[in-house]
């Protein structure tokens, strides 16, 4: 049974954040208001707990939370926000919890967002971040983690890396990802009524703003239509009251059919991106993530694209 706190959070979301996704006009108003207050910097409490360094890639900030001790593993965390909203303290507190409990280094790109920027700028920047990570860390020690739009970006980035012939990350952790941005599944209309947060009209506007005219059914926008066989072992967390869940379950099935090992946490009564909010259900979800990433690395499948050999020195230099 969902916790009392989850009911309170759901109620607040329905009468606040869901309004942003009720129409294209509402989304634009919320974006304009958000730009006046958004702040991508980690909260002061994180600086007290971690060694956090900042650099820039393609003119945008990248935060590096140092790993604990001699831990070599690193997480590339891609935050959600419908491609149009900045990272929030909720993201930072989840990132801090993962850094504490796993001891991994965590790389957090503050990637360019829409409507000021588009798909090409976003993936140009995060692609460069990943290439720089590969200069310092073996791909088998890298995890892609993302929530919502960031979960979409994690999958697309892996597919783009595979196409480029780069080594691929060892694991994915996808929290309420948006994997079919065509939003064409008829089951979504019922899911939308049950979702206290997301709405189809505003969601379609966000996709229009960032997609740079690419068709919504193209795998660069909707990775469910791409080559899923290149994906690594994946943990997918999705809730029964999330608009995106019907497509997430389809994605998991398709990925398994493509030979990918996928673990699904389908939390009854949970809304979009619930692991970001402090409540009993999120604590269970975070423990599942820690357990998943704490497991020994699975053997690399020799038939997986780009995994059988490292790129040449010439390719790596490009």
What local confidence, expressed as pLDDT, does residue 195 receive?
A: 97
How far is the C-alpha of 105 from the C-alpha of 128, rounded, in Å?
Answer: 18
How far is the C-alpha of 270 from the C-alpha of 248, rounded, in Å?
Answer: 14
What local confidence, expressed as pLDDT, does residue 308 receive?
A: 34
**All domains of the chain in start order, with CATH:** 4-295 (3.40.50.1820)
What local confidence, expressed as pLDDT, does residue 69 receive?
A: 79
Q: Which residues, other chains included, contact 302 with Cβ-Cβ below 8 Å and sequence gap of 6+?
A: 308
How far is the C-alpha of 252 from the C-alpha of 246, rounded, in Å?
Answer: 10
Distances 235 to 35, 152, 173, 261 between C-alpha atoms, Å: 32, 13, 5, 9
Q: What is the DSSP string of 7-58?
A: HHHHHHHHTTGGGGGS-HHHHHHHHHHHHTT---SPPHHHHHHS-EEEEEET
Give yes or no for a contact between 225 and 218, defined as CB atoms under 8 angstroms apart. yes
What local confidence, expressed as pLDDT, does residue 305 receive?
A: 37
Classify strands 52-57 and 60-65 as parallel, antiparallel or unpaired. antiparallel
Give the pLDDT of the chain (318 residues) as one tens digit per residue. Answer: 899 999 999 999 999 999 999 999 999 999 999 999 999 999 999 999 999 999 999 999 999 999 987 789 999 999 999 999 999 999 999 999 999 999 999 999 999 999 999 999 999 999 999 999 999 999 999 999 999 999 999 999 999 999 999 999 999 999 999 999 999 999 999 999 999 999 999 999 999 999 999 999 999 999 999 999 999 999 999 999 999 999 999 999 999 999 999 999 999 999 999 999 999 999 999 999 999 998 743 343 333 333 333 333 333 333
Give yes or no for a contact between 186 and 192, defined as CB atoms under 8 angstroms apart. no
Give yes or no for a contact between 175 and 148, defined as CB atoms under 8 angstroms apart. yes
H-only helix segments in the chain: 4-14, 24-35, 44-49, 89-102, 119-136, 149-164, 187-194, 200-210, 245-257, 280-294, 313-317
What local confidence, expressed as pLDDT, does residue 229 receive?
A: 98
């Amino acid at each position: 049974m969902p916790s009392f706190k989850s009911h309170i959070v759901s109620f607040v979301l329905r009468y606040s954040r869901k309004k942003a996704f009720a129409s294209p006009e509402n989304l634009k108003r919320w974006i304009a208001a958000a730009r006046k207050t958004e702040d991508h910097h980690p909260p002061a409490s994180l600086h007290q707990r971690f060694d956090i360094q900042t650099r820039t890639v393609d003119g945008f900030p990248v935060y590096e939370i140092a790993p604990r001790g001699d831990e070599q593993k690193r997480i590339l965390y891609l935050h959600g926000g419908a491609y149009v909203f900045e990272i929030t303290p909720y993201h930072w507190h989840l990132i801090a919890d993962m850094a504490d409990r796993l001891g991994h280094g965590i790389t957090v790109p503050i990637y360019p967002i829409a409507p000021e920027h588009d798909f090409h700028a976003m993936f140009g920047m995060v692609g460069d971040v990943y290439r720089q990570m590969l200069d310092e860390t073996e791909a088998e020690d890298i995890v892609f983690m993302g929530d919502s739009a960031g979960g979409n970006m994690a999958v697309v980035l892996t597919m783009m890396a595979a196409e480029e012939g780069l080594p691929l990350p060892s694991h994915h952790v996808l929290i309420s990802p948006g994997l079919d941005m065509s939003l064409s599944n008829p089951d979504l209309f019922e899911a939308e009524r049950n979702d206290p947060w997301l709405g189809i009209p505003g969601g379609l506007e966000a996709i229009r703003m960032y997609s740079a005219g690419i068709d919504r059914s193209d795998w660069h926008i909707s990775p469910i239509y791409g080559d899923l066989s290149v994906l690594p072992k994946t943990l997918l967390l999705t809730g029964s009251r999330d608009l995106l869940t019907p497509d997430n379950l389809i994605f998991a099935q398709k990925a398994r059919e493509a030979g990918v090992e996928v673990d699904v946490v389908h939390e009854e009564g949970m809304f979009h991106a619930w692991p970001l909010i402090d409540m009993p259900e999120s604590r269970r979800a975070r423990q599942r993530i820690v357990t998943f990433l704490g497991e020994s690395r699975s053997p690399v499948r020799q038939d997986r694209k780009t995994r059988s050999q490292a790129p040449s020195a010439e390719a790596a230099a490009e």
